[in-house]
Structure 1
Amino acid sequence: MLGFLDFLGTVGGNILSLPGIVGVGLGMMTRKWTLAVILGVLIGIIETLLFNDFNLAGTNVYDAAIAIVIGVMASLVGCAIRRKGATV
């Protein structure tokens, strides 16, 4: 189980890394919430596999889950920016 500081470091690292930044970018490409969620899940999975050299045996479940959640949240924020910015 992750310690609290490990958890905060993992969340902060994912926000500033691929799931956060690319998730917002991919979310801003669409106005559909469901597509934004799917893109967020994909970027979370790709980031986890990319940093583990595409080795599923070395993948930590907690890190993968946090990356997927951050990717989904970031892509939903990007989708909200796109939807709200288009109505102004």
Structure 2
Amino acid sequence: MGLLRTILIIALVYYAIKILSRIFAPYLVKYAAKKAEERFGGQFGQFHRQQEKEVPKKEGEVTIDKMPQTKTSNKDVGDYVDFEEID
């Protein structure tokens, strides 16, 4: 009797979640799309405002906005071995 009751409860919970997801899924998707639109729109607005502040540049002029990070390498990692193919 306990096994049958457990299976019945699992089936009811499964179908309840299935029905509720069909009801609330469109609202959740709309909410997520709205939030994504606000986030991307905010980033675009900042980019657009930044471009307006910049002075027009002459053609061919190069500017560097960000200096690249210097990479440090450890030269003591190992030895270089030159292999020679033997026939």
User: Which has the larger share of helix?
Assistant: 1
Say yes or no: TM over 0.5: no
TM-score calculated relative to the size of structure 1: 0.33
TM-score calculated relative to the size of structure 2: 0.34
* Structure with bigger RCO (C-alpha 8 Å, 6+ apart): 1
Greater Rg by CA: 2
